[in-house]
Amino acid sequence: MKLYIISNRLPVKVANPNGTFVFSRSEGGVTTGLDSLETSYEKHWIGWPGICVNKEKDKQEINEKLLELNFHPVFLSEAHIRNYYEGYSNSTIWPMCHYFYAYTLYKKCFWQSYQVVNQLFCDEICRLIRPGDKVWIQDYQLMLLPGMLRKVYPELCIGYFHHIPFPSYELFRILPERAEILKGLLGADFIAFHTHDYMRHFISAVERVLHIDFKLDEIQIGNRVVRVDALPMGINYELYHNASQNPVVRQAIDRNRTLFGNHKLILSVDRLDYSKGILHRLHGFSSFLEHHPEYHGKVTLAMVIVPSRDHVGSYAELKTKIDEEIGSVNGRYSTMNWTPVCYFYHGFSLEELTAMYYVADIALVTPLRDGMNLVAKEYVASKCDNTGVLILSEMAGAAVEMTDAIQINPNDSGQIENAICQALEMPAEEQKLRLQRMQKILSVQTVNKWAADFVNGLDMTCMKNDSLRKKRITAATIAQIKLKYNQAKQRLILLDYDGTLAALKTRPEDAKPTPELISILQQMTADPSNHIVINSGRDHFTLEKWLGSLPVCMAAEHGAFYKENGVWHKNIKKLEWSTGLQSILQMFVDKTPRSRLEVKETALAWHYRESDAWLGTLRAQQLVNALISICTRQKLQILQGNKVIEIKSPDYNKGSEVNRLLSNKRYDFVIAMGDDTTDDDMFQALPLNAVTVKVGSISEIANYNLPSQTDVLPFLQAIIGRQKGSGINTNSTVKKRLASALDFFKDLLKTK
């Protein structure tokens, strides 16, 4: 079995300087972590090789060479790079995710190319994938890919990690393709982000854009769950911590000390990008020099800026502004013996960079927004036996873990100035103590652990989905249930109403039974072997109004009322609701737009189906907290259903109604169907040989699952079939129902 790691770029650079292809490994945090990942799976990479070639001969040569490394190239054209990579990925998604809305470009050709390239990746994976393999997709360039793969391989184990910030819903909603992006991501089984903030933003976006609710960190889609988690990416701690012992690094350390002399060295390392806050940092350093002349000639800022996309307009403009600002600072303050800002516009080797980390007295890491920022972690790890201070933007993902850094708002040049002063004046003992505490975290939360944690999370989610799929009703399941049904002489059929027999409505009064439902119930009750019970949380007046003309038994308000032989019975006396309880509920109705209070004889129900998803969930949690003490005193039960909080007596529930029915008569076939958490009481009360079916979300208690309420009536039709003497008319309604059941069977055969 294989683990396929999918990324925009392969961890290799392919160049063609003299007509001959040259291959060099490009080491990065992800590559390092995944290379060291201990797993029983054979690891393979799929991605763009970093070069555009048109000739099939060249593609074949590159492919053969990369195959030796278990690398599989996806060849992209220059148009793809221009529109998919530089376009949609880095001119639309990147600025939006980093809160630079003004820099976001929308072009139809960008989006079209993004779709095409994601499909190219999908095609390559589908060519290679085999049963039992796993796929781990990396980052924002491939957000449609999980959904594309899910359509082709419904049971494939798919993971996705988002390496950049995920923006708040208010910003994400601006994206025209927001729904398509979210649906693409939800094709994965396991989705992870660097911080809990990004995870929270993603959940909020899904709930508000797609109107699908999470239960804590999980969401159910069809017969599987998607789990979301926060997994902060680490570094190769030992590599950086022990770097100063390397003779090459030691020589570089000595060169740097000679170069900077006795000056206090402030170091910043960034890729050229507007999200890194480079100009803000320069303004802060300039302000520091202006207000603290005592440090003139004593402090140097070494700025390492790695070229990136500088041919793109916004990046080229940024480069010009940085050059001008550095020139302005140096022109104003430099002397014959001192240059305030040393500027390096090129990348450094690992040895040179770790030497700079080791020598630097202060690391100035102040991005305006950053997914994680590994520079901050690398700097701290590189301090082996010396001092140093980390100044870190609170907008970087690393700030969540590295609380011993001096954290600042990068938009405030005054805070940057004050932080530099605080760092320069910090006692050596405090510096060492802060470093030790941060190093303790970094030495545990390494890149290896990050990779292992992700794969473990993916494995656990996929195992859960495998077990949930076994509950999915198939054609074979139908045949088994139908055989038992046909052989039985006394059958008990328990059916919930809302969400099971009838679709959930934003206004509960609109969930009236359809002609198809009435026809199915009539057909079922025509068989004298069937004892049909509608076991619902609805009030008995509504059930009687809608279904009273049918020869079915009913249980209303979770068993507080029941109807047998055409007569309603009450299990409990009418409850007197205290003014305190009613005032709490009314207060939540008043402060939650579009919520409503339903007063039943034996229960109070606060409905929030029509309310804003986030606000409704918040108010539901607040309401439960507010009700706990008063309901405990009054010996009342709080039920949390589907978009409803209900208060009732604990003396009866859907399970107590089942117990009453089973005590009155012996049945050789029992089936129960429901969609809510309250239906679990019904399932638990039934004997082990009963057929229990959860509709929608998958229950740990029920035997089987139907993904959607629309599957219920075809399922019932498939079970009961056409019985002799049932008196079924072959009118158009019945023909339509039978055709629906036939389609249902066909779909089940396909899933099998």
Q: Which residues are catalytic?
A: 496
Token code pair at residue 550: 């049918």
End-to-end CA separation in angstroms for the chain: 23
The DSSP element (H or E) to which 672 belongs, if any, is strand 669-674
> CA-CA distances (angstroms) from residue 613 to 204, 227, 652?
9, 19, 30
Least Cα distance to 237 among 62, 43, 443 occurs for 443
> What residues form DSSP beta bridges with 269?
304
Place of tokens 């009030």: 539
Helix, strand, coil % over all residues of the chain, rounded to 5: 50, 20, 30
**What whole-number distance in Å separates Cα of residue 678 and Cα of residue 379?**
54
Distance (Å) of CA 72 to CA 64, 119, 691: 9, 15, 48
d(CA 261, CA 532) in angstroms, rounded, equals 90
- SS3 for 227? strand
50 CB-near residues (< 8 Å, 6+ apart): 9, 10, 12, 13, 14, 15
Looking at the chain, the number of H-run helices and the number of E-run strands are: 27, 28
CB within 8 Å of 752: residues ≥ 6 apart: 474, 475, 476
In what helix (H) or strand (E) does residue 407 lie, and over which residues does it extend?
strand 406-408
Tell me how far apart the alpha carbons of residues 509 and 78 are, in angstroms, rounded to a whole number.
58
Place of tokens 């005590």: 663
Contacts of 523 (CB under 8 A, 6+ apart): 720, 726, 728
Question: ∠ at Cα 742 (551, 693), nearest 5°?
Answer: 55
Q: Which two tokens stand for residue 579?
A: 């003014």
